[in-house]
Amino acid sequence: MRRLLTALAFVLCPIASLCAADLVLELPGGTRTWSSAELLAHPQAQDIHIDADVAYKRGMDYRAVPLAALLQGIEAGDHLQAVALDGFAAELPAAPLLSRHGARAWLAVEDPARPWPKLGSKPGAGPFYLVWENPQAAQIGPEQWPFQIERIRRLAPLAKRFPALLPAAAASAEVQAGFAQFQKNCLACHRLNGAGDSQFGPDLNLPHNPTEYLAGDFLRQYIRDPQSLRHWPQGRMPAFSREVLSDQALEQLLAYLRHMATRKARENANAARP
C-alpha cells in the first residue's frame, strides 16, 4: 500500500520536483543519485520510531534506510559532510554512521504522499533527514542531525582542508579539546577565519571574535540560551544545554575561541580546499 500511495502521488503531481527529491552521494566509487521513490522502496527501508527527535522536539515516526547501507566504499576512518538546502554543512566522522550497534544512524525519507509537518512557520525536515536511534551511546549532538539534506560527500579531514582553523601546535590541551568541540558543535553553521563550507551563520573570527565583544559571562549565556541574551524571533541558533555541551566542554570551546582571536587569517583561508 505504501508503494502504491507513493506511485499515485507521482502520477497526480504535475511538477515532479514539487513531489519528489534527489539525494546525491559523492563516495569513493563515484557519484550516485537516489530519488526519494528509490529510497522508500530500498530493500533495507523500515518504519522506525525516534523518541526524542531533535528537529520536531517530540517522538516521530519515519520510513528510513540505515545510512550504512548507502555508504558504499566508506571506511570508519573517513570523514563525511552532509549539506542541507539552506547551506548548513554538518561535518560527520564516518565511524558512528557505519555502526550497527549502540547509536545507529538512519536516513529518514519523506514520502511525497505523506509529507512531514512544518517546523513552525518554516518548511519541514524533508526531503531527507539524518536521525539517530540511541544517540546518547555515542554522544551524538544536535548538529549531527542535519535535515533538508541534499548531498552527502566524503571529504578530506578538516585539518587538511582548512588549516586556518587549526590552533597553534603549542596550544594547550584545553584549546586542542576546544577545537574538537568547535568542529562538533559550531562548524555546521559557522566559518572561522573564512574557513569552512557552511553558508549559514556568521564567521566567528572575522572581523571580530565573539570573545572580543561579549564580556564576562555573556558569551556563555548566549551559547546556553541565545534568546535570553538577544531576543530575535528569526534567530536560528539553538540553545546548547548541559546535556549537549557540558560545562567542561563549553570552557574548552571558549578557550579555543579566545586562542583563535590571536590567530586571525584574513586571506586565502580556504586555499587548501580539495
CATH topology of domain 2-155: Sulfite Oxidase; Chain A, domain 2 (3.90.420)
The SS3 call for residue 30 is: strand
Mind listing the pLDDT tens digit for each residue in 7-55? Answer: 443 344 443 334 579 999 999 999 999 999 999 999 999 999 999 999 9
Rounded to an integer, what distance in angstroms lies between the CA atom of residue 266 and that of residue 165? 12
The answer to whether residues 257 and 190 touch, using CB atoms and an 8 Å cutoff, is no
Closest CA to 66 of 106, 33, 96: 106
Rounded to an integer, what distance in angstroms lies between the CA atom of residue 227 and that of residue 123? 22
- Residue ranges, CATH 3.90.420.10, the chain: 2-155
Rounded to an integer, what distance in angstroms lies between the CA atom of residue 229 and that of residue 237? 12
pLDDT at 4: 42
Residue labelled with grid coordinates 549502540: 102
Read off the C-alpha cell for 71.
555508504
The SS3 call for residue 32 is: strand
Q: Dihedrals φ, ψ of 272, to 5°?
A: -95, 15
Query: How confident is the prediction along the chain (274 residues), in pLDDT tens digits per residue?
Result: 434 433 443 344 443 334 579 999 999 999 999 999 999 999 999 999 999 999 999 999 999 999 999 999 999 999 999 999 988 888 899 999 999 889 999 999 999 999 999 998 889 999 999 999 999 898 898 889 999 999 999 999 888 889 999 999 999 999 999 998 998 889 888 999 999 887 778 899 999 999 999 988 999 999 998 888 776 665 668 888 888 889 999 999 999 999 999 999 864 444 444 4
The alpha-helical segments, DSSP class H, found in the chain are 2-12, 16-19, 36-40, 94-98, 158-161, 173-185, 210-213, 218-224, 226-229, 247-260
The SS3 call for residue 50 is: strand
Rounded to an integer, what distance in angstroms lies between the CA atom of residue 174 and that of residue 186? 17
pLDDT at 198: 79
User: What angle, 0 to 180 degrees and rounded to 10, lies between the N-to-C axes of helices 247-260 and 173-185?
Assistant: 100
The answer to whether residues 170 and 44 touch, using CB atoms and an 8 Å cutoff, is no
Read off the C-alpha cell for 86.
539552506
The answer to whether residues 129 and 144 touch, using CB atoms and an 8 Å cutoff, is no
Name, in order, each residue with C-beta under 8 angstroms of 20's C-beta and a sequence gap of 6 or more.
10, 13, 35, 36, 37, 112, 127
For the chain, the first-to-last Cα distance in angstroms comes to 45
pLDDT at 37: 96
- Residue ranges, CATH 2.60.40.420, the chain: 158-260
pLDDT at 232: 67
- Per CATH, the homologous superfamily of domain 158-260 is Cupredoxins -  blue copper proteins (2.60.40.420)
